[in-house]
Amino acid sequence: MSAIALLLASSLALEPSAMLELPAGADPNEYVQATWLPAIAAEPVEVPAWQRYWRGDQTEHLDRPRWIRHTTGPRETKADLAARYGTDAKMLRQWNPKTLARKRKFLREGVELRLKATRVPPPREPITYVAREGDTWESVAVDHRVDVRDLKSYNNAANADSLDELAPERELLVWVDPAIPWTVNRFPGPEIDPAWLDIPQGALSHGHPNRGRIKGEPCQLPEIPQLYTRRFDRIAHGSSHAIEVIVTAFANFRRDTGYAGEIFVGSISRPHGRRFPPHRSHQSGRDVDIRVPMLPWFNTMIDPPPEQIDWRATWALIDAFLATGEVSMIFLDHDLQRHLYYAAMSMGVSAEELDEIITWPLRSGTKGKKIVRHSKGHDGHIHVRMKCGDNEPGCRTRRPWRPPPK
């Protein structure tokens, strides 16, 4: 053993002497008692503001709906209240015919409403936030998980640019929700079972998703309830490569986020691909429709209101697909991309990173088509298209050019 190794071993074996004394005049709170060496001040862990105010564990979950009264706050809508209390926005007007007689986007502030709730969370509350160097309307809104348009409205700055920097020490009124959904990155998820990734090989994508087929032995998405719910059997086939990507993405998503809600996987392809009405694509086994994750107190539906969708879980799932490096595009209605964008920012993704992924927002002209792009009809589900696998020579990313008919 070298001299350096012997010296290191002997130093590790030393125990602090019981006779060590605190230096004269020193503050005991600034020294480590075992050795009287100066303590190293640790930097405080910065947590998002919304977590500091979070009291969602105080939410009362009811076995059966109960009548309650709610006094409206600023910038509340019927859809907001329905999502908050686990009820139906259409019923609010029936329960309060006189109060809600007028059709308006935002409810009048300070109005008392009767409604049947299935959950009763702690009420929203106003706080004062003091702006720091580098803060913008957007960054403050994201940190508190409030809509940036609402934040500007609370502070009579509706026409301000969301990216405008705020003057340091400026005081802002923020209405925070202490019971905001916290469904991802709160608890650890299940470890990945290697058996999940044992996908039969031999099913190859051939041709273009809009004009193609699956060659070889059919490969069906395996039933793995811990990861997803397979909605259909006959149309849950794909290329071996695509099926492996789907299972891998879901396994990583569940493990990394701890999200426990049910997620439905819908159409992929027929056993051998080819035409698949009413879809124009889904022909070559590389496309999959996935229902967006819902907030825990709502059931999955075809066209859910945006307020009932768990956007943070939706982004985490998309991120898990992107992390595989095997995704060519994802379709989501452009109007819904705003919710996805800010959910991603609230989870630490920068605007610069998102500008390379999501088409929204078009801040200055056009950004071109990014991975997450608009396609009509994709408002209750995301459509994920995988790249061609390395061993799929007949797979095509674009349809061959054909001259127009004469």
pLDDT digit string, tens, across residues 114-123? 999 999 999 9
Instruction: Tell whether the model's pLDDT for residue 40 goes beyond 70.
Output: no
- Whole-structure pTM value: 0.85
Question: Which amino acid is it at 28?
Answer: P
The three-state secondary structure class of 338 is: helix
CA distance 294 to 257: 15
Going by pLDDT thresholds of 50, 70 and 90, the confidence category of residue 301 is confident
Whole-number pLDDT of residue 94: 93
Helical ranges in 332-384 per DSSP H: 334-346, 351-354
**Which residues are CB-neighbours of 178 under 8 A, at least 6 positions away?**
53, 54, 55, 56, 58, 121, 122, 124, 125
The pLDDT tens digits for 86-134 are 999 999 999 999 888 888 889 999 999 999 999 999 999 999 999 999 9
Is-contact 137 156, C-beta < 8 A? no
- Which DSSP letter does residue 279 get? B
The pLDDT tens digits for 191-217 are 999 999 999 999 999 999 999 999 999
CA distance 48 to 374: 30
Question: Which amino acid is it at 104?
Answer: R
The three-state secondary structure class of 346 is: helix
Question: Which amino acid is it at 11?
Answer: S
Cα–Cα distances in angstroms (integers) from residue 399 to residues 23, 206, 393, in the given order: 79, 12, 15
**Which residues are CB-neighbours of 43 under 8 A, at least 6 positions away?**
none
Instruction: Tell whether the model's pLDDT for residue 394 goes beyond 50.
Output: yes
Looking at residues 243-262, what average pLDDT do you find?
97
CA distance 299 to 297: 7
State the DSSP string of 221-266.
PP--TTT-EE--STT-EE-HHHHHHHHHHHHHHHHHH---S--EE-
Q: For the packed helices 137-144 and 334-346, what is the interaxial angle rounded to 10 degrees?
A: 80
State the DSSP string of 202-226.
--EEEEETTEEEEESS-EEPP--TT
**Token representation of residue 86:** 């686990």
